[in-house]
Chain A
Amino acid sequence: MNRYRMHLMVCGGTGCRSSQSVQIVENLNQELKKAGMDQEVQVVTTGCFGFCEKGPIVKIYPDNIFYVEVKPTDAAEIVAEHVVKGRTVQRLVYKDPAGGKQIPASTDMPFYGQQIRIALRNCGLIDPENIDEYISVDGYQALGKALSTMTQQQVVDTLKKSGLRGRGGAGFPTGLKWQAALKQKSDKKYIVCNADEGDPGAFMDRSVLEGDPHSVIEAMAIAGYATGADEGIVYVRAEYPLAVKRLKIAIAQAEEYGLLGKEILGSKFSFRIRLSLGAGAFVCGEETALLNSVEGSRGEPRMKPPFPAEKGLFGKPTIINNVETFANVCPILLNGPEWFASIGTEKSKGTKVFALSGKINNVGLAEVPMGITLREIVENIGGGVRDGRTFKAVQIGGPSGGCLPKSLLDIPIDYESLSAAGAMMGSGGMIVMDDTDCMVNIAKYYLDFTVDESCGKCTPCRVGNKRLFEILERITDGKGTMKDLDDLEVLGGTIRDASLCQLGQTAPNPVLSTLKHFRDEYIAHIVDKRCPSGVCQNLIHYVVVADKCIGCTVCARNCPVSCISGERKTAHVIDQERCTKCGVCFSKCPVDAIVKE
């Protein structure tokens, strides 16, 4: 194996790839070759660094220089300046938006400052397509430790002691789940990895699978050993082609190394893993619907109990854990449960990966210790609200989560606090909204998603959520009544109480939480027939302010339905009857004479 003096780590996650990081790798390699340094400097395609806002990312080791927004054309300069002459390319270094100071080391950036990376420990550090790199960072040591020094019960006890809870949303203690499966007597047991990440805006599971697939594979094998299962299935959505590809490579390499297959590491334990591709139904992220889907049936939830640990895939005891949960397992075994339990709060241990998006400066993935406040995530890690606008709400927990207002920004991030506030941990999507977002419209948007993704099995979810959506539609159309607000609450309450699965039970959350925290916006739509954020099409009008209009005719010439009239150099008028509220005139007017009201 070659020894290199320097490594150029280029992000190979889906986000950076879409910004040509593959080309960057190619160009860097060419430039290195030209400079005759390809034997002493290695370019590594890694997993996601998390700071997607500033991608593509190129990190230089051992210099610890973090280049952001790198273009393929920058490759020549990086090689010529940094690699050859040892001079940092200043223009590619991250600049702190507050103060504009250059911060060359990622560890000094506010985005990374408060993060503790356990699940994402290897993302951005190793080449996910090379098992040797995983092994070089203690990979498969946890499996070896479990197989050679621990009993099944000891592994389960370690998990229990660590306090690890399911990262897929519900937060069920992982150790208890494993214990339940271990207890079952059965000729066959399964380990299933739920990689059907479906929340809009959430991409932590994808990043783990793309950046560190072996961490999941190793953990599944440990789960197999701990519970007596010999078969693992990763249920991954087909829309994650890169994750699928890297999983396949990782499984093949692990098999080749004897880390999967028969009698692993000379023990009596055998374990195989296969992939099952999901076709994109959101509900298949619900564990029992997922099992149906793997079995080849319609993806619909089953009644619980019996829980999968008792009667799961093909009726056999089955552990289903989410990707991020598995990604936490190996460090717990290696560093001890006490170490893990020392991070976080009393009931929520360890870290959680959040996918920051929306109107926030630093879009990306951040892994933070439990107990950190929402404010710290939004303001420090996220860098605050984009474009200097005002923070309005943060939506947490995916489409079934809730919208929390400014007044709740200081609650700590843990399962219980978020639920109490009307949101939920969910898979960790976090979408920031500012004053230009209409909360009624936001609630409608999320409900539209769940209405569309409902499996249609039970009445409250199938019909109830549709009716909720229709009420919201009426309100945003300006046809709502105050009675609608009562109906939303009553109907939402019943849907939560009576639906069959979590999808239905949590679907009214966006409505109920916005109704609770942003009721005035609903009332404005209903009573004043006004959308305070100027979002709801049917409640806004574009009007020409006659005093300001200079009669340049730009608006009239650009109007796609020709509904603006007026002589040159005289004030123009918009025919409200024909106006489609497309907003073209508003954005084209050179003197801001057109206003939204």
Chain B
Amino acid sequence: MVNLTINGSALVVPDGSTILEAAKRVGIHIPTLCHLDLHEMRMVNQVASCRVCMVEVENRRGLVPACSTTVTEGMVVKTDTIRALKARRIVVELLLSDHPSDCLICERNRNCDLQSLAADLGIREVKFKGAMSTYKRDDSSFSLVRNPDKCILCRRCETMCGEVQTVGVYSAVDRGFMTTIGTAFDLPMKDTACTFCGQCVSVCPTGALTEVDNTRKVLDVLNRPGKVVIAQTAPAIRVALGEEFGMEPGTRVTGKMVSALRRIGFDYVMDTDFAADLTIIEEASEFVHRLQHGGTLPILTSCCPAWVKFFEHNFPDLLDIPSTCKSPHEMFGAVAKTYLATKLGVDPKNLVIVSIMPCLAKKYEAARPELSGEGEQNVDYVLSTRELGRMIRESGMDFANLPEEEFDNPMGQSSGAAAIFGTTGGVIEAALRTAYEWLTGNRLENVEFAQLRGMEGIREATVRINDLDVKIAIAHGLGNARKLLEKIQRGDATYHAIEIMACPGGCIGGGGQPYHHGDIEILKKRAAAIYSEDRAKTIRRSHENQDVMRLYGEFLGTPYGEKAHELLHTSYTKREKV
């Protein structure tokens, strides 16, 4: 423990604490900007580059950054001296002097760390005016937009992409005032190894990184005569959308979400959870098939498009181990444009599928050539949770007071197994519930596999099925995925099945979710809500979803069969590392 004084009050803090952490303990808020501490995700941005959190420390010549200065015994810290306040203010003014002042039309308006900081400090003028940085906007990808003019060089994206995700698309380039965050050889994002996980967007404090906004296109198609527009919603949306309307994180708003989508004008509101059950039937069948026929093991989940792109770039020699199952929303699209179109009596050409996803990679995924049948995409548009929030606000609804409504059928019913797809470990747990019962012929007493849950970056568990100890691994965050895959490559570990999600926490922490501003508790509350959604379901096993089984009976035939292969399975492509 270390003794120190902050603004005159003595306190004792654990060794290794920063001044920022110590100050927090005594209720002193030191403003920060570049700093971001999500250490449970191993995302700690401590580059001390913005110089906003400067404080005075006795016997130190200059000011020191509170975020990255470790306390020492007897340290005397002053956070509110005129010298510190002045420096802080000038630093923010300097940042503003090289930042476009188009807050009114910025996507991050009212949700921007720089804007909040300027407001908190009461900045009313920028004394030091001068040249502004101007760079080319990169909107080459389907998922995210880079606007370096709004970048404040906090380097969070670089840390997230390089250290947490180990993708390393971003790096600071050039020097001095010309410094910017760029890609290798200044390649457009679409040509990089970017997985479009969107975690850089999640941690960007300003409008320098944002999603590709599809709300205008969706509004347009909703109002186009002759089009039948179907919304499908991912499991992680319903536990996060409420935050867009000031509701407590972890509030389940499933019914209100359905109700809002209908009011926006969707002809049908169905559920990606239905397709998640379908995915489990296919994936569990594939797993059982591989187990019983000596196929390649481990089997890797393939629901996460960022993860898919990651292994295509980084592990091209392992393309045969991921499951060939399409991701749930793509399965939904494929079934909707065939089976459902017939049922509804709509020409598939006039059927429009809009996915509401917690994810930015799904936007890219929807455009992958192999996922477009006969020139028509399985999924036509993808909106993020944030975009849906904006559409609801734009249409003037009082979201908190909307009535609870039910999904439309026949692709609206789902099990609790589908609900937990939204959090890390959920897909493998859902698959186990089905595979276990199929292989043993016994009904599970308790469908909850506690050993698969949690927030540890890499988790392992062994489940006894008949005579076999099925070894399972789970990783979330691509850096963790890389570690796991390298272990397998080296032959250091053998598993039967592995679940991987690109985003820390799984889809609840997706790149399209409401901004968490560095508060990890928000993600934990979303995960808890996902599990309570599961418990609230009457059906908790995918193979007990009667609508899914009817789909097989009426249309698909046998699981993992020929028709299922044609519609529900996909293939992967080797890609370059850069």
Contact = CB atoms under 8 A, between A and B. Distances in A.
A305 interface: yes
B179 A459 contact: no
Nearest to A470: B130
B54 interface: yes
A463 B97 contact: yes
A454 B175 contact: yes
A196 to B, nearest CB: 15
Contacts of A490: 86, 90
B527 to A, nearest CB: 33
B50 interface: yes
A499 B50 CA distance: 9
A494 B90 contact: yes
A107 to B, nearest CB: 43
B175 A456 contact: yes
A464 B62 contact: no
A456 B178 contact: yes
A350 B101 CA distance: 55
A552 interface: no
Interface residues of A, number: 34
A459 B91 contact: yes
Nearest to B171: A298
B62 A505 contact: yes
Contact of B177 (A300, A451, A497): A451
Contacts of A303: 46, 48, 65, 68-69
A38 interface: no
B551 to A, nearest CB: 53
A462 B176 contact: yes
A281 interface: yes
Contact of B94 (A281, A300, A467, A505): A467
A491 interface: yes
A494 B87 CA distance: 5
A180 to B, nearest CB: 15
Interface string B22-60: 000000000000000000000000111111101000000
Given A305-B70, A494-B87, A498-B87, A460 B51 contact: yes
Nearest to A500: B48
Contacts of A464: 90-91, 94, 128
Contacts of A548: none
A513 B14 CA distance: 43
A498 B98 CA distance: 18
A458 B50 contact: yes
Interface in A433-475: 451-460, 462-467, 470-471
Contact of B153 (A457, A494, A498): A457
B175 A452 contact: yes
Contacts of A451: 176-177
Given A463-B98, A467-B97, A491-B90, A454 B172 contact: no
B92 to A, nearest CB: 9
A258 B451 CA distance: 60
Contact of A458 (B51, B83, B127, B130): B51
B50 to A, nearest CB: 6
Contacts of B94: 459-460, 463-464, 467
Interface in A274-292: 281, 283
B294 to A, nearest CB: 45
A121 B174 CA distance: 41
Contact of B176 (A298, A466, A505): A466
A455 B90 contact: no
Interface string A299-339: 01001010000000000000000000000000000000000
Contact of B49 (A283, A457, A465, A470): A457
Contacts of B128: 464, 467, 471, 487, 491
A496 interface: yes
Contacts of A281: 175
Contact of A466 (B63, B65, B86, B130): B130
- The residue in B50, B51, B65, B130 that gathers the most chain A C-beta atoms within 10 A of its C-beta is B51
Nearest to A490: B90
**Most chain A CB within a 10 A radius of its CB, from B87, B95, B177, B178:** B177
Contacts of B439: none
Interface in B107-155: 127-128, 130-131, 152-153
Contact of B51 (A300, A455, A500): A500
A595 B83 CA distance: 49
Nearest to A474: B130
Contacts of B152: 459
Given A452-B175, A467-B128, A487-B127, A500 B49 contact: yes
Given A452-B176, A491-B128, A494-B86, A459 B171 contact: no
A497 B50 contact: no
Contacts of B130: 466-467, 470
Given A305-B70, A457-B153, A491-B128, A498 B54 contact: yes
A54 to B, nearest CB: 38
Given A303-B65, A303-B68, A466-B177, A498 B91 contact: yes
B179 A456 contact: yes
B175 A498 contact: no
A460 B91 contact: yes
Instruction: Point out which of A451, A463, A487, A494 has the most chain B C-beta atoms below 10 A from its C-beta.
Output: A463
Given A305-B70, A467-B94, A455 B176 contact: yes
B443 to A, nearest CB: 54
Interface in B61-86: 62-63, 65, 68-70, 83, 86
A458 B48 contact: yes
A509 to B, nearest CB: 14
A462 B172 contact: no
Contacts of B50: 458-459
Given A455-B175, A487-B127, A462 B153 contact: yes
B179 to A, nearest CB: 3
A53 B131 CA distance: 41
Contacts of B51: 458-460, 498-500
A494 to B, nearest CB: 4
A467 B91 CA distance: 12
Contacts of A505: 62
A24 to B, nearest CB: 41
B176 A453 contact: yes
B435 to A, nearest CB: 44
A466 B131 contact: yes
Given A466-B130, A491-B128, A499-B51, A456 B91 contact: no
Pick the 4 closest A-B CB pairs, nearest first.
A456-B179, A454-B176, A463-B94, A467-B128
27 contacts: A298-B171, A452-B176, A453-B175, A454-B175, A456-B175, A456-B176, A456-B177, A456-B179, A457-B153, A457-B172, A458-B48, A459-B52, A460-B94, A462-B176, A464-B91, A464-B94, A464-B128, A466-B130, A466-B131, A470-B130, A470-B131, A490-B90, A494-B90, A496-B62, A497-B62, A497-B87, A500-B49
Given A458-B51, A462-B179, A487-B127, 7 more contacts: A298-B171, A466-B176, A467-B94, A467-B128, A494-B91, A498-B51, A500-B48
